[in-house]
Protein backbone atom coordinates (compact mmCIF):
# COMPACT_ATOMS: atom_id res chain seq x y z
CA UNK A 1 0.00 0.00 0.00
CA UNK A 2 1.35 3.42 -0.86
CA UNK A 3 2.22 5.95 1.81
CA UNK A 4 -0.90 7.46 3.31
CA UNK A 5 0.68 10.06 5.57
CA UNK A 6 -2.10 12.54 4.80
CA UNK A 7 -4.55 10.38 6.79
CA UNK A 8 -4.87 11.68 10.33
CA UNK A 9 -5.55 9.33 13.22
CA UNK A 10 -7.15 10.27 16.54
CA UNK A 11 -7.23 7.85 19.47
CA UNK A 12 -9.68 7.99 22.36
CA UNK A 13 -10.00 5.62 25.27
CA UNK A 14 -12.09 5.52 28.43
CA UNK A 15 -12.45 2.53 30.75
CA UNK A 16 -13.62 -0.34 28.47
CA UNK A 17 -14.23 1.83 25.41
CA UNK A 18 -11.55 2.54 22.77
CA UNK A 19 -11.77 4.24 19.41
CA UNK A 20 -9.43 5.15 16.60
CA UNK A 21 -10.74 7.68 14.10
CA UNK A 22 -9.16 8.11 10.69
CA UNK A 23 -9.72 11.44 8.94
CA UNK A 24 -9.44 11.09 5.18
CA UNK A 25 -9.49 13.66 2.41
CA UNK A 26 -10.31 11.62 -0.70
CA UNK A 27 -11.77 8.36 -2.01
CA UNK A 28 -8.36 6.67 -2.30
CA UNK A 29 -7.68 7.26 1.39
CA UNK A 30 -11.14 5.96 2.30
CA UNK A 31 -10.46 2.83 0.28
CA UNK A 32 -7.02 2.40 1.90
CA UNK A 33 -8.52 2.63 5.40
CA UNK A 34 -11.38 0.23 4.61
CA UNK A 35 -8.96 -2.28 3.05
CA UNK A 36 -6.68 -2.08 6.10
CA UNK A 37 -9.63 -2.58 8.48
CA UNK A 38 -10.78 -5.68 6.59
CA UNK A 39 -7.26 -7.12 6.42
CA UNK A 40 -6.37 -6.53 10.07
CA UNK A 41 -9.69 -7.51 11.66
CA UNK A 42 -9.85 -10.70 9.60
CA UNK A 43 -7.02 -12.07 11.77
CA UNK A 44 -8.85 -11.37 15.07
CA UNK A 45 -11.95 -12.75 16.73
CA UNK A 46 -12.63 -9.47 18.56
CA UNK A 47 -14.39 -7.31 15.94
CA UNK A 48 -14.88 -3.53 16.02
CA UNK A 49 -17.84 -1.39 15.17
CA UNK A 50 -16.98 0.81 12.18
CA UNK A 51 -18.83 4.08 11.54
CA UNK A 52 -18.28 6.35 8.54
CA UNK A 53 -19.25 10.02 8.70
CA UNK A 54 -18.84 12.58 5.93
CA UNK A 55 -18.00 16.07 7.15
CA UNK A 56 -17.69 18.47 4.26
CA UNK A 57 -14.63 17.56 2.20
CA UNK A 58 -13.38 15.09 4.83
CA UNK A 59 -14.59 11.65 5.84
CA UNK A 60 -14.16 10.22 9.33
CA UNK A 61 -13.87 6.46 9.70
CA UNK A 62 -14.28 5.52 13.35
CA UNK A 63 -13.15 2.07 14.54
CA UNK A 64 -14.49 1.46 18.04
CA UNK A 65 -14.60 -1.27 20.63
CA UNK A 66 -17.06 -1.47 23.50
CA UNK A 67 -16.56 -3.71 26.55
CA UNK A 68 -12.88 -4.21 25.80
CA UNK A 69 -12.16 -6.01 29.09
CA UNK A 70 -8.91 -7.58 27.88
CA UNK A 71 -7.61 -4.46 26.08
CA UNK A 72 -7.47 -6.25 22.71
CA UNK A 73 -8.23 -3.06 20.79
CA UNK A 74 -4.70 -1.74 21.24
CA UNK A 75 -3.16 -4.57 19.23
CA UNK A 76 -5.65 -4.03 16.40
CA UNK A 77 -5.10 -0.26 16.46
CA UNK A 78 -1.31 -0.77 16.26
CA UNK A 79 -1.71 -3.10 13.29
CA UNK A 80 -4.00 -0.61 11.52
CA UNK A 81 -1.54 2.23 12.06
CA UNK A 82 1.30 0.08 10.73
CA UNK A 83 -0.72 -1.08 7.71
CA UNK A 84 -1.51 2.54 6.82
CA UNK A 85 2.03 3.82 7.47
CA UNK A 86 0.78 6.25 10.11
CA UNK A 87 3.55 6.94 12.62
CA UNK A 88 1.54 8.66 15.37
CA UNK A 89 -1.93 9.80 16.26
CA UNK A 90 -3.45 12.75 18.06
The pLDDT of residue 4 is: 43
Report domain extents, the chain. 8-83
The verdict on domain 8-83 having CATH code 3.30.70.2750 is yes
- In sequence order, what are the residues at sequence separation of 6 or more whose Cβ sits closer than 8 angstroms to the Cβ of residue 81? 9, 20, 87, 89
The pLDDT of residue 5 is: 66
pTM beyond 0.95: the answer is: no
pLDDT beneath 50, residues of the chain: 1-4
The pLDDT of residue 49 is: 97
The pLDDT of residue 68 is: 83
The pLDDT of residue 77 is: 96
Amino acid sequence: MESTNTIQAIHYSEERYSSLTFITKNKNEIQDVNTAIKKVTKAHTFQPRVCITEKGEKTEINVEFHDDYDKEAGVIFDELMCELNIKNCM
